[in-house]
Structure 1
Amino acid sequence: METVELDEGLRRTTAPNGLVVLSETLPGVRSVAVGIYVRTASAHEPRRQLGISHLLEHMVFKGTERRTAQELALGLEIRGGGLDAFTGRDYTSYQAHVLDADLPLAVEILTDLVRHPLLRASDLEPERNVILEEISGVADTPDDLVFELHAETLWPDHPYGYSILGTPESLAALTAEDLKVLHRRGYYPGNCVIAAAGQVNHDQLLTVLEREGWFEGDQRELPREAVASAPAVQGACRAEERDTAQTHIVFGTDTFPLRDPRRFPLAILTNVFGGGMSSRLFQRVREELGLAYAIFAYKHFYQGSGQLGVYVGTQPATADRAVAAINAEYARLAAEGLPMTELINGKQQLKGQVMLSLESPAARMGRLAGFILHDDRYRPLDEMLREIDAVTSEEVAEVAGEFFAPERQTVVRLGPNSKSANGKR
């Protein structure tokens, strides 16, 4: 195995079978966060099996070769710790946050989930029903549903636009054997990244992982093709009629993966545009015009692309005014970029956000894994802060002109009388 020190207290080990293990020791904490990240998720699903990655993530908790579902639930909680999992676009994550003395138990339980689930056919129908309830919950929550509709409109023919939860039809067709096939193809050491942060000793972590069999086996080819860059639909308008008190609107476009050097100019612009109470959109649309309670800008990064968007919830009667005001702010930012005062403030805001986001072991763990999962180079915090400081007005203007142009935004409306506004920008 090859182990390198990336920074003070931060080490990375690459095993011959392809497994990557990272850890960061944080002085002064009594806990440790540990996660197993499987590089198989919704972006790798064929359309006929939408939702299979998320269903598998649920099903592993129904029992393993060594533990019942109840034992999995109790194992860490009775010690004050916690166990969690989620399915994303590019990877599926299984995580625990425990006292440092319980790290070996946490790794053992996570290993059970990832490597040794039973995946019994008898458990499938109840869990399928749980996810159907999850899908119904999204359908009944318009400020969640509008984001799903927007992704679907932006990427209609790519997995980034498909629901991670799947559909009732795709879930009904999935079998326990389908889950076992996916598990065999994707849930093996060389397709995983294991990260831990907190009161953790790297050598002891490796010892625990070796005991759990993580370094066994040969390296295998990844069971997936690299996710192709997704061509997005730009400038489209979609309206969905719903009997809701508000009209929910999402603007957005595709961007680029996290490893792209333009991520810091984009992050600064997103903050200035709609990142808080001081942002342009908040001040204009909420404070000056009184058209909304909730309005914000957001960004997501995926393995093959990214997403930049704006959400606003407003009264149906004021929806057109809100859209016009937001489009005007898009146009102003795309044409003018940022004056120096806003650029300086935006840099300071982003640096503060980066530092504050790393205050917990779980956040540090996620950051470590993210460098590997996004094929990015590890950067110490000080280097990241210097990169933010180095962003120029010209770089910001270039990103603003390309990604904030109003005509590039795909817009989705959800609410009463939305159909009558179809095609309006």
Structure 2
Amino acid sequence: MTAVYHTVTLDNGLRCALLPTRSRVVWCGFGIHSGSRDDPEELPGLAHFVEHTIFKGTIHRRADHIRNRMEVVGGSIDAYTTKDETVVYTVGPRGEMSRAVELLGDLIRHSTFPDKELEPERGVVRDEINLYRDTPSDRIFDEWDERFFRDRSLAHPILGDTRSLDRMRREDLLSYAERTFRPERLLFFVMGQVTPKRFEELCRRYLSEPFPSEVKPSTRPELSLPIALADESPHIVHSRTHQAHTLLGGLGATYNDPDRAAQNLLLQLLAGDGMNTLLNVELRERRGWVYNVEASVTCFPDVGWWQIYFGSDDDHAEEALRVVREQLDRLMQEPLREQVLRAWKKQTKGLALVSSEQSESTFLSFGRQMLLRGRYETLEEYFDRIDSVTTESLMETARRLFAHPFTLIYNGKK
């Protein structure tokens, strides 16, 4: 449970971090503190398109070479984009670590985004956007963001839209990478059975190329907070869906906020992992109104928010929302009994322990923590934060989070 990790900063300013573990595979990745929030206003979705096309060629290798570089040894390469960061990473046999480090360094420093590769990938992303639009349980999250956030950089979808996608040119991708793939925004991170000496040797061999000094790093405009003041009445969108889809949420704890432990407890208690959560019991087990109800939190260094989603028949949507609001009100007005809080703490810590045994999630969590705050929290430290939550502090956090939820409903009634 003790997370002993090793860090080094190269002469070019690049931060590198190693989490040693006992494993016959090694995970390697680049975290870039740049996501859809950094899209130019006229090109929403650019960060996501860069993530897709970074594999399409470098000054050293073609797209087919990139695809095969890890797969021919049984490994793989992947990437994802959020509103706040982008991650490109590999997994492969421990003996192939040098292959992974060299490949990732080449992608981050030397991607060329060749024109002949952009059109086919534009079609892939267009299908991804359309698939998302065809899935109301996904689409409602984007529409909630667009209606809730006053700040445009947070409001637009990570995928962008097809009109913006059609406007993106090779020069836009190169400019974005040049401005954001900078040492102050980058972290190279590794998890596996690797010695610090070997780790530093490979980082210095493959990642120490100087960054251009004449390039100015991009900066983010200050967020226009408060983001949005929600009223009490739901915002209803009439749709052609069989179900009514409901999403409510509001501003929450930021990434380094002391209240984040209490927030995690509250959302786990309401609709986290497990069949015994309050809203799953009330809406599914007792009434049979929903197939699933789920809670999520998003935490960035400067902003955070929480959300609760469920889908139901139109006839039950209003009643189900009433039940959810009743549970939120109860948490704001009545402290949990001590024995109930202890039980939820135990469950929350157990879920964290189980998750820590999942290699990919541990690796990505390690990278995100090192990227955003420069340190990795041990399980013991996280458990201490959970244990410090009291019935009173939990109720106070509930009052800050749940007083005025912003609610969006996709109503399928014609």
Range class of TM-score, shorter chain: over 0.9
Cα distance in 2 for partners of 1:128, 1:156 equals 29
Provide the residue aligned with 1:417 in structure 2: 413
Provide the residue aligned with 2:305 in structure 1: 307
Q: 1:76 to 1:366 in 2, by over 3 A?
A: same
Per-residue deviation, 1:339: 2.1
Q: Residue type matched to 2:240 in 1?
A: D
Cα distance in 1 for partners of 2:35, 2:385 equals 31
Cα distance in 2 for partners of 1:223, 1:233 equals 26
RMSD: 2.0
Matched, 1:252 2:249: yes
Matched, 1:19 2:17: no
Check whether the contact 2:10–2:204 (CA below 8 A) recurs between aligned residues.
Answer: no
Q: 1:166 to 1:324 in 2, by over 3 A?
A: same
Q: Residue type matched to 1:100 in 2?
A: R
Q: Give CA-to-partner distance per residue, 1:283-304, whole Å, 9 cap, x none.
A: 1111112211111211111232
- 1:320 corresponds to which of 318, 321, 329: 318
Q: 1:214 to 1:346 in 2, by over 3 A?
A: farther
Provide the residue aligned with 2:42 in structure 1: 48
Per-residue deviation, 1:313: 0.6
Cα distance in 1 for partners of 2:261, 2:81 equals 26
Cα distance in 2 for partners of 1:310, 1:280 equals 12
Cα distance in 2 for partners of 1:221, 1:357 equals 39
| Structure 1: 5+ residue stretches without partners | 1-6, 419-425
Give aligned pairs, total. Answer: 409
Per-residue deviation, 1:376: 5.9
Residue 202 of structure 2 aligns to a residue in which SS?
helix
Q: Show the 5 A alignment for 1:40-119.
A: 40-119=34-113
Q: Give CA-to-partner distance per residue, 1:106-152, whole Å, 9 cap, x none.
A: 11111222111121223222222211111100011111111111111
Residue 48 of structure 1 aligns to a residue in which SS?
coil
Matched, 1:175 2:172: no
Per-residue deviation, 1:226: 6.5
Per-residue deviation, 1:105: 0.5
| Structure 2: 5+ residue stretches without partners | none
Per-residue deviation, 1:253: 0.6
- 1:204 corresponds to which of 188, 198, 204: 198
Residue 261 of structure 1 aligns to a residue in which SS?
coil
Q: Give CA-to-partner distance per residue, 1:31-80, whole Å, 9 cap, x none.
A: 11111011221112232111111111111111122222112111111211
Residue 33 of structure 1 aligns to a residue in which SS?
strand
Matched, 1:347 2:336: no
Q: Give CA-to-partner distance per residue, 1:10-34, whole Å, 9 cap, x none.
A: 111123433111111112x111111
Q: Which of 228-237 and 243-252 deviates more?
A: 228-237
Q: Residue type matched to 1:291 in 2?
A: W
Q: Residue type matched to 2:331 in 1?
A: L
Q: Show the 5 A alignment for 1:218-297.
A: 222-225=217-220, 228=223, 230-236=225-231, 237-275=234-272, 276-297=274-295
Residue 356 of structure 2 aligns to a residue in which SS?
coil
Q: Residue type matched to 1:357 in 2?
A: S
Residue 374 of structure 1 aligns to a residue in which SS?
helix
Q: 1:270 to 1:127 in 2, by over 3 A?
A: same
